[in-house]
Amino acid sequence: MDDPPKPPAGSALDTVEEGPRTGHALPVRLAATTLRHPTVDGLRARFGASVQHHAISAGDQHVVYVEAGRNREVLRWLKQDPAQHYDLLADVTAVDFGGDRPLEVVYQLWSVPHRRALRVKCELPLAALAIDSVEPLWRTADWLEREVYDLFGIEFRGHPDLRRIMMPENYAEGHPLRKDFPLRGRFTRAEQTRRALSQDPVDQYIPTELATGREPRIPGDVPLGESEVVEPSPEPEG
Amino acid sequence: MGLDARRLPGGGTSARRDGGILGAGGPTFLTTKLDFVVNWARRSSLWPMPFGTACCAIEMMAAAASNFDLARFGMERMSFSPRQADVLICAGRVPYKLAPVLRRIWDQMPQPKWCISMGACASSGGVFDVYSMVQGIDTIVPVDVYIPGCPPRPEGLIYGLMMIQEKIREETLAEHRVLRAEDPLRAGVPEADADEVAGLTGPFGNSTRQNRVSDVARTDLADRPGDRKP
């Protein structure tokens, strides 16, 4: 058996072995072990009063409440500033505490290079349940915001495709995770059954999804089947 | 010769010592009832259509695997196409969004067909007495056998399938028209009508303040702005 040929010095394999970008040799210092979070200081310095208050939840989870009107601006800075670099949006969700308390939209962020977590919350009054979409920043927000819209009824301005994702398209009972939603739904079971069976499973999809099968829809991409239309060659005469 | 005289009446004997159906000069022909032959063929080669949505499907897979070996009873081939299936095994909870899919699969299966509701969720909704869950698939499709359990063990599923076999054994072709009557207009509509569904299920409303024997709660209260009223 011959030895496998060694990669030449300076190849891509060498580079990967030499310097991992995340710096695993450094000791893990969780930012949350201290009461001060470096990002929170930066946020306060840059956005001032828009950072409403700062809390520590479950021992080591820093929560920052941000003015809802500036959520996209704040989150863009958190993602793009080199000292912050929160490149992973782990989750977008919402909380309804019931009563007259405002709904909270929750962004759970993680910075892979800095190994820091941050939770950003925006409070929305019940009278105006709308907030800017962060889909332009993290593409994963597409489906996460659709889920929040479906179950809480929060409108995300600027979302490219805001429609229900879990409940059926013809669901007319409202948004089930609201506290005022009855546990068994608003309609009788017979009506729920009738409505469920009256829908066509094909209606759950938009034409692009049906046309391209499993291909994801990429903005700016020409859907499959439109760019590759093969013109039938004209029959030769005679 | 070990032949059951009641099931195999009559029959000539072969002149040759090694001839006949069973050898050793046995009968060269058998007479039997058409019902018996048809039912024997049907029950011995039931092809299940697995509709597994939850943990019951794990037990169903175990039943089909080598330890329990569903193939011993004629369920040799799990048919993943409803067009070539005889038994619909609904294993797991069915949300309302999946209800038209289940109904369409049932409508696509050719006659004769049977249905097994496996587990508590498929049979009654189980613990999921909530806005999103079908309270028993018998409101969607007709069910022949319910298998209790959460989830049932593979023995339970095998027992249920053998009950289907027993049911087929009792069938007669004289009742074919009644048993296999199919109305094209019924395709895609609920199996149970509205009164029946209402009778099967508890009152709707906010079940944190309401149990099955209390009155129907008011459900028209949508005190949140922006919440769509029904």
Tell me what pLDDT residue A8 has: 46
Question: Shortest CB distance from A184 goes to which of B134, B200, B204?
Answer: B204
Counting the structural domains of chain A, the total is 1
- Indicate whether A211 belongs to any domain: no
ipTM entry: 0.72
Query: Which residues contact residue A180 at a Cβ distance below 8 angstroms, ignoring those fewer than 6 apart?
Result: A98, B221, B222, B223, B224, B227
Contact B97 A167 (CB under 8 A): yes
Contacts of A194 in chain B (CB under 8 A): 190, 194
Establish if A81 belongs to a structural domain.
Answer: yes
- The residues facing A51 across adjacent strands are A66
Total structural domains in chain B? 1
The CATH number linked to B149 is: 3.40.50.12280
A155 in a domain, yes or no?
yes
CATH number, domain of A35, equals 3.30.460.80
Q: Is residue B132 part of a domain?
A: yes
- Is residue B36 in some structural domain? no
The b-or-e profile of A178-217 (16+ CB within 10 A means b, else e) is bebbbebbbbbbbbbbbbbbebeeeebeeebeeeeeeeee
Domain extent, residue A45, equals 30-166
Q: Is residue B195 part of a domain?
A: no
In a domain, A173, yes or no: no
pLDDT (tens digit per residue) in A12-39 = 433 333 333 444 444 444 444 456 788 8
Domain that holds residue B88: 47-181
In a domain, B212, yes or no: no
Closest-CA residue of chain A to B103: A197
Q: For A142-193, how does the pLDDT look when each residue is reduced to its tens digit (9 = 90+)?
A: 999 999 999 999 999 999 888 889 988 888 888 899 888 877 787 878 888 8
Q: Is residue B102 part of a domain?
A: yes
Give residue A12's pLDDT.
Answer: 41
Residue A212 pLDDT exceeds 80: no
A200 touches chain B (CB under 8 A): yes
Tell me which residue has tokens 């700016």.
Answer: A220
- Contact across the interface for A153 and B227, Cβ inside 8 Å: yes
CB within 8 Å of B129: residues ≥ 6 apart: A183, A184, B135, B202, B207
* pLDDT single digits (tens) A66-112: 999 999 999 999 999 888 899 999 999 999 987 788 999 999 999 99
**Which residue ranges of chain B lie beneath pLDDT 50?**
1-10, 204-224, 227-230
